[in-house]
Amino acid sequence: MRVLILGSGGREHAISWKFSQSKRISGLYIAPGNGGTAELGTNLNINPEKEDQVLQACRDNKIDLVFVGPEGPLAAGIVDKIKEAGIAVIGPHQEAAQLESSKAFSKDFMVRNHIPTAESRTFTKASDFESYMKSITHRVVLKKSGLAAGKGVLESTDQEELLHFGKEVLKTDSLVVEEFLEGFEVSFFVLSDGKNYRVLPPCSDYKKAHDNDEGLNTGGMGAICPVPWVTKELYSEIEQSIIKTTMDSLNKEGLNYVGVVYIGVMVTSKGPKVLEYNVRFGDPETQPLLSLIESDFGNIADAMIKGHLDNYTPRVNENNTALGVVIAAEGYPGEYNKSIPVQPIPEDTEDALIFHASTSIDAQGQLVTGGGRCFTSVGIGSDIISAYSAAYRGTKFVNFEGAWFRNDIGKKFYEEA
């Protein structure tokens, strides 16, 4: 099987790593990829959102299967075009991708299918939004409906700030105003073959930039898998009320979803509720999550594209915990410099796995950062404490000017343990 992976983040490095270990793989291409994927396959310097470039790359390299990593190409409808060209693809088509690309679409889907979620209202006019805000007394969260790379949500108690943010969003998009939910967050990654599904172990992501969940929202500064707070009982409740209902509703509505459904859940005192759907694996959750998958990734992909997930259960290392720490560029999530040289990363990083994100190899053959989130160090251990220690030992092998990371990934579970 000749595989093309679209994307360039830590998630795509982890996906490439799993595919590179597969016995089924006879060619591995990543577009555009990063400095890490270049060591596992061939990076193709194309834009993964441009159908003509992707289809040409498929023809040139005799690709049998495309795996779409990020949301951009999915929202742009790349899957529809790849399918039309007769090539197998993992990722939802454009209509289904609206579960992520339109929060308004996603909310409507949840409400009409009775999937537990926060109460909400969608606005298109600033005047309606302003009068609604004057009429309510409960705390709310504002969400830009369209894609915003993790930066389209405002949680604030400051009325002025809320009004300003909402009116800015309404200049270009619709606005979802949602009841503020309290509890703890957990994410589920569900593999779907269009009819059957398999749920992977739960993950917990750290969205805020700094320790103790302070600072701005980011794409995610670290993640842990599985999540100790998800007991067997809680898992069964979420599986019944949210996961099964979501997957049955996708089938009932004829969305023929082949790909990964990411379900962000808030566990509240009134039960678990959906915060959001994404239509892909999470980043950085994928880095620890896939580190625990023991099955051949080519077999998983094959079951997904052939509709055989009912006969195939991915094998997961259930005795271990994996923990990922993101190493970011100075200034992120604000402005940051790019092209900062990275000191060579040794082959032996002790018991940590180092996944690249924004890196590339420059014309002089030097590994350089591309800014933002640059690497993820993943540690695996028999418990959270050992996974934490391994991941943080890994961070010392990644050195570039201005590199920084959170120091408390997994700690809230670790301190409890």
Q: Among residue numbers 102 through 121, which ones bind ligand AMP (CB under 6 A)?
A: 118
Taking the C-alpha atoms of residue 133 and residue 378, their distance in angstroms, rounded to an integer, is 43
Tell me if 283 contacts ligand GLY by CB under 6 A: yes
- Closest CB to ligand AMP among residues 228, 264: 264
One of 278, 287, 359, 369 touching ligand GLY (CB under 6 A): 278
Taking the C-alpha atoms of residue 195 and residue 308, their distance in angstroms, rounded to an integer, is 9
Write down the residue that tokens 């339109």 correspond to.
Answer: 102
Q: Among residue numbers 136 through 165, which ones bind ligand AMP (CB under 6 A)?
A: 141, 143, 153, 155
Tell me if 393 contacts ligand AMP by CB under 6 A: no
Q: Which stretch binds ligand AMP (CB under 6 A): 180-188, 245-253, 300-308, 322-330?
A: 180-188
Q: Among residue numbers 171 through 210, which ones bind ligand GLY (CB under 6 A)?
A: 205
Least distance in Å: CB of 187 to ligand AMP? Answer: 9
Tokens of 109: 């889907």
Q: Is 392:377 a contact under the CB 8 Å cutoff? A: yes
- Closest CB to ligand AMP among residues 180, 344: 180
Q: Is 283:378 a contact under the CB 8 Å cutoff? A: no
Tell me if 106 contacts ligand GLY by CB under 6 A: no
Tell me if 180 contacts ligand AMP by CB under 6 A: yes
Strands (E), 252-393: 258-268, 271-278, 321-328, 352-356, 360-361, 367-368, 373-381
Contacts of 255 (CB under 8 A, 6+ apart): 92, 95, 96
Q: Is 30:4 a contact under the CB 8 Å cutoff? A: yes
Q: Is 29:54 a contact under the CB 8 Å cutoff? A: no
Please report the sign of the dihedral spanned by the C-alpha atoms of residue 75, residue 286, residue 295, residue 241. Answer: negative
- Closest CB to ligand AMP among residues 82, 261: 261
Pairing mode, strands 65-68 and 2-7: parallel
Least distance in Å: CB of 412 to ligand GLY? Answer: 17
Tell me if 275 contacts ligand AMP by CB under 6 A: yes
One of 152, 194, 201, 220 touching ligand GLY (CB under 6 A): 220
- Residue 180 contact among ligand GLY, ligand AMP, none, beta carbon within 5 to 8 Å by kind: ligand AMP
Least distance in Å: CB of 278 to ligand GLY? Answer: 5
- Residue 185 contact among ligand GLY, ligand AMP, none, beta carbon within 5 to 8 Å by kind: ligand AMP
Taking the C-alpha atoms of residue 108 and residue 101, their distance in angstroms, rounded to an integer, is 13
Helix (H) or strand (E) holding 13: helix 10-20
- Residue 118 contact among ligand AMP, ligand GLY, none, beta carbon within 5 to 8 Å by kind: ligand AMP
Burial profile 351-390: b = 16 or more Cβ within 10 angstroms, e = fewer = bbbbbbbbbbeeeeeebbbbbbbbbbbbbbbeebbbbbbb
Q: Which stretch binds ligand AMP (CB under 6 A): 173-181, 245-253, 303-311, 383-391?
A: 173-181
Least distance in Å: CB of 183 to ligand AMP? Answer: 8
Tell me if 339 contacts ligand AMP by CB under 6 A: no
Give the CB-nearest residue to ligand AMP: 276
- Closest CB to ligand GLY among residues 33, 220: 220
Size of the site for ligand AMP (CB under 6 A): 14
Q: Comparing C-alpha atoms, which of 276, 281, 247 is closest to residue 263?
A: 276
Q: Which residues are near ligand AMP by CB under 6 A?
A: 118, 141, 143, 153, 155, 178-181, 185, 207, 264, 275-276
Q: Which residues are near ligand GLY by CB under 6 A?
A: 150, 205, 219-220, 278, 282-283, 285
